[in-house]
Amino acid sequence: MILQDPKFSLNPVLTVGQQIAESYRVHTHATKSEANRKALGMLEAVRIRDPERVFSLYPHEVSGGMGQRVMIAMMLIPEPELLIADEPTSALDVTVQAQLLELIDELIQRRRMGLILISHNMNLVASFCDRILVLYGGQVMEMLNAADVSAAQHPYTQGLLACRPLIERPQSELPQLKRDPTWLGVPSEIGVAARDRSL
């Protein structure tokens, strides 16, 4: 699983190389030298320049984009069948986001892995996934093929799509996403009370 922000997901007192190697050793019981070699190979696979230097750096010494590449290396080194990416680029600027998403896409295709991409960005999900499940309150509201995302039927999915800023649809203000407690199968008053308690 690739988490949102490497600053909070990587161990600050271990070098990035130690953390990637540890992930490999836990799953394979390899020797330390074997794991270090494999970790260097993974740093190369995620397109980090000068992997030997980066191997010895601590998390605070790497940029956000590099930290996220380190996270990807750490999660892929045990060769999983499924990769779960939870808003993997939310803390990065748009240019770095595109590079990382292309990298993830390339790696999962080359390794023939499954991908679950968790995001509020409907365009992003539609670009990288085959099917979309729209969840609200932990429940599935709608399931559709990524190619059919513009034909969404559920009001929540339609609301998410309407909130996207589009160049061809200039707006002074984006529409506000409306939520309805009845979508979760609970009476309106209970839903409102539950929301009030969570604030």
List the chain domain ranges. Answer: 136-199
Torsion of CA 147, 153, 156, 161, to 10 degrees: 40
Q: What is the pTM of this model?
A: 0.77
Percentages helix, strand, coil for the chain (3-state, rounded to 5) are 55, 15, 35
Q: What is the pLDDT along the chain (199 residues), one digit of tens a residue?
A: 888 777 788 999 999 999 999 999 999 989 999 999 999 999 999 889 999 999 999 999 998 888 888 998 999 899 899 999 888 877 677 777 778 888 888 888 888 999 999 988 888 888 888 999 999 989 999 999 999 998 999 999 988 888 877 777 777 777 788 888 888 875 444 444 444 444 3
Cα–Cα distance measured from residue 88 to residue 54, given in angstroms and rounded to the nearest whole number: 20
Q: What is the per-residue burial (b if ≥16 Cβ within 10 Å, else e) of 105-118?
A: eebbeeeeeebebe
With a CB cutoff of 8 Å and minimum separation 6, the contacts of 40 are 17, 51, 52, 55
> CA-CA distance, 139 to 198, in Å (whole number)?
18
Residue bearing tokens 């984009």: 65
Rounded Cα distance between 141 and 153, Å, is 10
